[in-house]
Amino acid sequence: MRKNFGAKPWTYPQPVLIIATYGEDGTPDAMNAAWGGISEEAQLSMCISAEHKTTANILARKAFTVSMATAAQVVACDYVGIASGNKEANKLEKAGFHTTRSEFVDAPLIDELPMALECRLICYDPETCRLVGEIVNVSADESVLDANGKIDPDKLEPITFDPVHHTYRKLGETVGNAFRDGLKLK
Ligand SMILES: Cc1cc2nc3c(=O)[nH]c(=O)nc-3n(C[C@H](O)[C@H](O)[C@H](O)COP(=O)(O)O)c2cc1C
């Protein structure tokens, strides 16, 4: 027997994306977003509410960065999801986050979050809350690279959002090889 839960915004795993922006006066802001993901080879789509400070910043600066939330920074990553830059002027300072300007887009990188996508705004629709960004660059701190210079998820420790229990979880271990394991059945 299956149990029906009705229409819910539930998938596993959901990402924990930290969107960082500059305000018109240059103040950095960040927010937590679970509703989003890759939607083209060099494109990311998210659903972000029109009333967020982040949204106003993106529309003003036409750019944003998207960092992967990490286990080490879970408290700060949750904080930026429950406090708004519209009300809290020192939001990033309170989160303990420091920023460095992206070399590629007019948006800040969060120093404490080692992997980020640097994006240019393609479009935003306030009716549907859909934000689409062009991925201009992906950057990662050397501390989370493996011996071959690739991003190592075991070092990065990205977290996922559990929308059923409202918790954050670490990624689990490798259980298969993509585009390969299925070949056994082809
Ligand atoms: C786990 C989690 C996931 C969230 N996902 C989203 C989301 O996908 N879209 C959205 O608009 N807000 C989302 N939020 C809410 C924003 O992060 C929150 O309203 C934030 O305060 C906005 O900050 P700002 O006004 O400084 O931009 C989420 C919050 C949390 C804690």
What does DSSP assign to residue 55? H
Residue to mutate, 14, 19, 24, 32, ligand 1, most ligand atoms under 8 Å from C-beta: 32
The answer to whether 171 and 162 are in contact (CB under 8 A) is no
Share of residues in the chain with pLDDT > 90 (%): 99
For residue 156, how far is its CA from the centre of ligand 1 (angstroms)? 22
Model pTM?
0.98
Average pLDDT over residues 26-50: 98
Tell me which residue has its CA closest to atom 18 in ligand 1.
81
| 3-state secondary structure labels for all residues of 76-125 | HHHHCCCCCCCCCCCHHHHHCCCEEECCCCCCEEECCCCEEEEEEEEEEE
- pLDDT level of residue 45 (50, 70, 90 thresholds): very high
Q: Which amino acid is at 162?
A: D
Tell me which residue has its CA closest to atom 13 in ligand 1.
33
Q: Report the b/e string of 72-100 with b at 16+ CB within 10 A.
A: ebeebbbbbbebebeebeebbeebebebe
Alpha-carbon gap, residue 89 to 162, rounded angstroms:
29
Interval 71-103: pLDDT, tens: 999 999 999 999 999 999 999 999 999 999 999
For residue 81, how far is its CA from the centre of ligand 1 (angstroms)? 4
Residues with CB under 6 A from ligand 1: 29, 31-35, 47-49, 52-54, 78, 81-86, 161
SS3 (DSSP) at 132: strand
Radius of gyration of the chain (CA): 17
CA within 13 Å, CB half, 174:
7
Interval 123-140: pLDDT, tens: 999 999 999 999 999 999
